[in-house]
Amino acid sequence: MTEKQRALEIIGQARPNLEALSDAIWDHPEVGYHESFAADALCAFLEENGFQVERNLAGIPTAFSGSYGSGAPVIGLLGEFDALPGMSQKAGCFEKCAAADGGPGHGCGHNLLGVGSLAAALGVKAYLEAGHTGTVKFFGCPAEEGGSGKGFMARAGVFQGLDAAFSWHPGDLNSVSTESTMANYQICYRFHGVSSHAALSPELGRSALDALELMNVGVQFLREHVPGDTRIHYAITDTGGSAPGTVQSHAEAVYLLRAAQLPQVKALYERVNKIAQGAALMTETTVETEFIKACSNMVLNTELMKVMQRNLEQIPCDFFDEADADFARQVAASFTYKDPYFEDVAAQIEDPELREKILQDKDAPIHTVTMPLLRESQGFVSSDVGDVSWNCPVAQIGTATMPAGTPMHSWQAVAVGKSPLAHKGMLYASKVIAASAIDALEDPEILRRAKAEFVRRTGGKAYDSPIPAEVKPRIP
């Protein structure tokens, strides 16, 4: 048995504990920067397994790392564990049914994400223990959903000194991620006016809600005059109250602005600011802006993608059984549409024969095929992994932890998070990540080429955080 096989076997042996850990995090869903249960559980696991744990990274109580080994190269493995607000759902239930009304839930599979990367660290540690030089560092990264935890960690220099980093995301497909993500800014616009009796003395009132509505209308007109790949989203987070007979003296919206690159987001931000100021001027109110967070676009790295692809193809995905397929079919019975995603992805495969072969998996209850390495493309989502990717070469995979066609951030995604299907897909991701990290430790040429590509793609510039120095993460 090779040292790499032995490392993967160590992950397999830890399986009951890893599954229990992932389930425990699923059972205690915590939203961004509130993840004390998950952080404690993951840190305890790291300590029990001989990792040196450092907590409170970047001054964030739920950001931490666990290191093993010494010296270069240093390989980072990224883990997340935050849940989504309002997504509570009972496990294994085939209809929408909250476990706790209005509570959070793991709709993005981050209970699996954190533990999967942690398991990979366990495998890499086993390899290093066999007498190899190098360091493996697991990063516990809070608040991926809307909090840019990694962005604040990156601003504090947490990811400096890494030679490479690997991560993954739960999903319904085994593939290496070849999509870049969008850069974004998230800003809160808070209007202040004057309250007054809306019937007796309307002339004395200055409505903050009017200002907010005018701002939103202004932004709708702006949409016609921005680049096509720009995304502008907003949520009204304060309507000013529930009494129509009172002029609303306060109102607030949170805007999320996305574009392919940071300079485009910055330009968009300046235009939205002008609209907010215009709305305030029209209504004789004032507007206050609070910069919440930002994240950088993802810098891809072909060299590391190829390493992950090789391992994804070499490690067989042959562990799903008829019970998993039955479970997947029962969940899929609630889908109101035919999965558009798989065929979209398959359509990108250039070789017609390979495309045909992959398409045979189209109607499978669980996708077990391995997608070939697709051409690079620009995705529309954002991820704070982007900020890590401006610090060192990064690559990521997705593995099937959900029935084919499961939408992310859905009750179905929460419901399957503790199933054998989810556990198996998580362990598969761990093994592919560990094998890729071991390849990078074993062959210095991989890291040399990955680094050269990183320098070429980033222009050799030092990382510049998109989050202004005075902005603090929204820690409770």
Interface region with Zn ion, contact rule CB under 5 A, candidates 108-116, 146-154, 290-298, 451-459: 108-116
CB of 408 to Zn ion, least distance (A): 6
Looking at residue 55, the DSSP 8-state letter turns out to be: -
Which residues, in sequence order, are bridge partners of residue 134? 70
Read off the amino acid at residue 307.
V
CB of 381 to Zn ion, least distance (A): 8
Near Zn ion by CB under 5 A: residue from 39, 43, 108, 358: 108
CB 296 within 8 A of CB 466: yes
Cβ proximity to Zn ion: between 321 and 380 the closer is 380
CB 473 within 8 A of CB 152: yes
CB of 179 to Zn ion, least distance (A): 14
Read off the amino acid at residue 372.
P
Tokens of residue 218, six digits: 């202004």
Say whether 52 sits in a helix, a strand or coil.
Answer: strand
Interface region with Zn ion, contact rule CB under 5 A, candidates 24-32, 100-108, 156-164, 456-464: 100-108
Question: How many residues touch Zn ion (CB under 5 A)?
Answer: 1
The Cα angle at residue 30 between residues 25 and 36, in degrees rounded to 5: 80
Cβ proximity to Zn ion: between 108 and 162 the closer is 108
For residues 383-406, one letter each, b for 16 or more C-beta atoms within 10 angstroms of the residue's C-beta and e for the rest, the string is bbbbbbbbbbbbbbbbbbbbbbbb
Cβ proximity to Zn ion: between 72 and 345 the closer is 345
CA separation for the pair 436, 124 (Å, rounded): 9
Could you say whether residue 414 binds Zn ion (CB under 5 A)?
Answer: no
CB of 82 to Zn ion, least distance (A): 9
Interface region with Zn ion, contact rule CB under 5 A, candidates 107-115, 292-300, 324-332, 439-447: 107-115
End-to-end CA, the chain: 49
Cβ proximity to Zn ion: between 108 and 187 the closer is 108
Cβ proximity to Zn ion: between 143 and 226 the closer is 143
CB 50 within 8 A of CB 125: yes
CB of 433 to Zn ion, least distance (A): 16
CB of 170 to Zn ion, least distance (A): 8
Order of strands, sheet of 134-141, starting from the edge strand that comes earlier in the sequence: 52-54, 64-70, 134-141, 74-80, 164-171, 394-400, 175-176
Site string for Zn ion, 49-88 (x = CB under 5 A): ----------------------------------------
Interface region with Zn ion, contact rule CB under 5 A, candidates 62-70, 105-113, 309-317, 335-343: 105-113
> Which residues are near Zn ion by CB under 5 A?
108
